[in-house]
Amino acid sequence: MRRHRNMRRHICFAMLAGVFATAAAIIPFGGAQAASCEAGKSRADMTEADAQAVYDCLQSVMYENYNKGGKNWIPAEYVKNYRDWKLANTAPAAPGFHGDRYLMTWVNPVGYDAYVEFRDENVEIPAGTIIAKESFDVAENGSAKAGPLFIMQKVEEGRSPETLDWYYMMVSPGGAPVAVDVISACSECHKENFGHQGGLGYPVLDVRVGN
């Protein structure tokens, strides 16, 4: 275990974040509930436990908002169901990619076991695997808000060779399907940086399940 140095302090901040959570849930923002919270300290000072506390604060409104409105070409059940899947990370981490946001990676039962092997070669992810990655932004002053939901779906071999047989999708923090050129906006980075591991970036080592 790595988080140990000052457990009492972490717990204290977790409780503080809980208070902010309540505030975020009851203060109307533009007529709708806003998924925003406070870390209670600057981003630079945030520990893993602080990031988790921010996520705990954001998570229910975040999920509700992702599910607002029609999803058009994105299967709505992915967005509805992903919280029933399992997490591949033990705490939110911000690897620098994906807009420097903190990330939470959910994988459906079809692909979970294969994904959490975190193989760096000979990766075999079954078709039908769906991965949903929640994201949130934390500003320098510690104020946090939900970011987009990023989705990857593994399709049958040969269906989309250009993207290593992954379909990419993105839902805005307010629930709208976001039209992006998935080749240049998603696949190129995944392929160029992680082509050797089947196009998968994986959570940073520190927060990988089983690590």
Binding site for ligand HEC (CB under 6 A): 93, 95, 97-98, 103, 105, 131, 133, 150-152, 168-170, 180, 185-186, 189-190, 200-204
Q: Where is 86: in which H helix or E strand? A: strand 86-87
- 125 within 8 A of 115, measured Cβ to Cβ: yes
Question: In whole angstroms, what is the distance from residue 184 CA to residue 191 CA?
Answer: 10
Identity of the amino acid at 97: F
Question: In whole angstroms, what is the distance from residue 61 CA to residue 35 CA?
Answer: 5
Rounded to a whole number of angstroms, the minimum distance from the CB of residue 48 to ligand HEC is 13
Nearer to ligand HEC, 145 or 190 (CB): 190
Nearer to ligand HEC, 16 or 76 (CB): 76
Rounded to a whole number of angstroms, the minimum distance from the CB of residue 211 to ligand HEC is 13
Question: In whole angstroms, what is the distance from residue 189 CA to residue 82 CA?
Answer: 24
Rounded to a whole number of angstroms, the minimum distance from the CB of residue 107 to ligand HEC is 8
Nearer to ligand HEC, 14 or 204 (CB): 204
Token reading at 126: 């079954």
Rounded to a whole number of angstroms, the minimum distance from the CB of residue 2 to ligand HEC is 17
Instruction: State residue 27 phi and psi, 5-degree precision.
Output: -85, 115
Burial zone of 209 (CB within 10 Å; 0-12 exposed, 13-18 middle, 19+ buried): middle
Nearer to ligand HEC, 57 or 171 (CB): 171
Rounded to a whole number of angstroms, the minimum distance from the CB of residue 19 to ligand HEC is 29
Rounded to a whole number of angstroms, the minimum distance from the CB of residue 152 to ligand HEC is 4
DSSP 7-58: HHHHHHHHHHHHHHHHHHHHSEETTEE--EEE-SS-GGG--HHHHHHHHHHH
Of all residues in the shown chain, the one whose CB is closest to ligand HEC is 201
Nearer to ligand HEC, 16 or 176 (CB): 176
Token reading at 13: 């901040």
Nearer to ligand HEC, 114 or 152 (CB): 152
